[in-house]
């Protein structure tokens, strides 16, 4: 596969990353890479259940196995943006991580260009979507419980979709709710343990909550999640079309519910 064309959007003279030569061999045998599944998680929407809040709340999951591809392009693109700051004629960009809600339109375009070049056979996305107006009041009174209950349920649905039969690692961004953090993590791990037991599966798993700056995959799933949210919340499919090929399922969990508890 040829290298993706990098950073062609900014209206100024600027060297491009495709001039950088990488010496990584894609045919190298890496003996210590296991057959484990990695699941990276991002949520989109807010927990404001009123006319002022978002219509939707969703969890989006990126499913991959090592070795992870294209990370060198994403890292090099970020370093090139930092090096751009050495030219005093340009506005300063302090980019620790890529984040779709914060990045400008030129950076967004290039990140989506990179993401769109993944092998669709090796990268899968599962999306679990709630229409918040159809969530019963007793299911959303405590935000930490709403979050962890739906994340646990979405993970179980995903594991069903995958017919999980391999050890797996789940990595989320930092938990969005500080209250009862240990309780949330405990409930999440307990839910997965009970799920595996109910299926008679003797698999090993772990869950980590890392800063998105530590993981290109968390930044990738953030971009994918943003594209899906744009489609459902704002009826804008322009970015969604770039990642649609990776979708294994869009699970609209509240689609068949008829009760609406407040107007948007």
Per-residue confidence (pLDDT) for residue 211, from 0 to 100: 92
Per-residue confidence (pLDDT) for residue 13, from 0 to 100: 39
Could you give the angle at the alpha carbon of 220 between the alpha carbons of 219 and 224, nearest 5°? Answer: 120
pTM given for the model: 0.85
- For residues 61 and 123, give the distance between their C-alpha atoms in angstroms, rounded to a whole number: 10
Tens place of pLDDT for every residue, the chain, 264 residues? 555 544 444 444 334 444 444 444 555 454 456 789 999 999 999 999 999 999 999 999 999 999 888 888 899 999 999 999 999 988 898 999 999 999 999 999 999 999 999 999 999 999 999 999 999 999 999 998 999 999 999 999 999 999 999 999 999 988 777 666 787 888 899 999 999 999 999 999 999 999 999 999 999 999 999 999 999 999 999 999 999 999 999 999 999 999 999 988
Residue 101 CA to its chain's centroid (Å): 13
Residue with tokens 């971009």: 223
Query: 226: cis peptide before it, omega within 30°?
Result: no
Per-residue confidence (pLDDT) for residue 27, from 0 to 100: 55
Residue among 89, 86, 109, 88 nearest 98 (CA): 109
């Amino acid at each position: 596969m040829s290298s993706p064309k990098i950073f062609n959007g900014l209206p100024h003279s600027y060297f491009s990353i495709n001039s950088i030569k990488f010496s990584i061999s894609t045919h190298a045998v890496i003996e210590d890479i296991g057959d484990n599944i990695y699941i990276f998680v991002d949520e989109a929407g807010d927990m404001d259940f009123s006319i002022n809040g978002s219509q939707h709340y969703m969890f989006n999951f990126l499913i991959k196995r090592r070795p992870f591809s294209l990370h060198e392009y994403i890292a090099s693109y970020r370093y090139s943006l930092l090096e751009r700051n050495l030219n005093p004629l340009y506005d300063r960009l302090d980019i620790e991580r890529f984040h779709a809600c914060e990045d400008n339109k030129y950076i967004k375009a290039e990140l989506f260009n990179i993401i769109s070049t993944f092998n669709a056979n090796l990268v899968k996305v599962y999306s679990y979507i709630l229409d918040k107006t159809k969530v019963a009041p007793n299911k959303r009174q405590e935000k930490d419980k709403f979050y962890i209950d739906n994340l646990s349920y979405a993970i179980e649905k995903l594991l069903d979709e995958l017919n999980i039969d391999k050890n797996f690692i789940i990595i989320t961004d930092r938990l969005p709710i500080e209250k009862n953090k240990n309780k949330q993590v405990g409930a999440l791990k307990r839910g997965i343990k009970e799920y595996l037991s109910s299926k008679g599966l003797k698999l090993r798993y772990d869950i980590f909550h890392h800063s998105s700056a530590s993981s290109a995959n968390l930044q990738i799933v953030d971009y994918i999640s943003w594209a899906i949210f744009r489609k459902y919340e704002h009826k804008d499919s322009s970015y969604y079309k770039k990642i649609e090929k990776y979708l294994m399922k869009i699970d609209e969990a509240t689609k068949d519910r008829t009760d609406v508890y407040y107007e948007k």
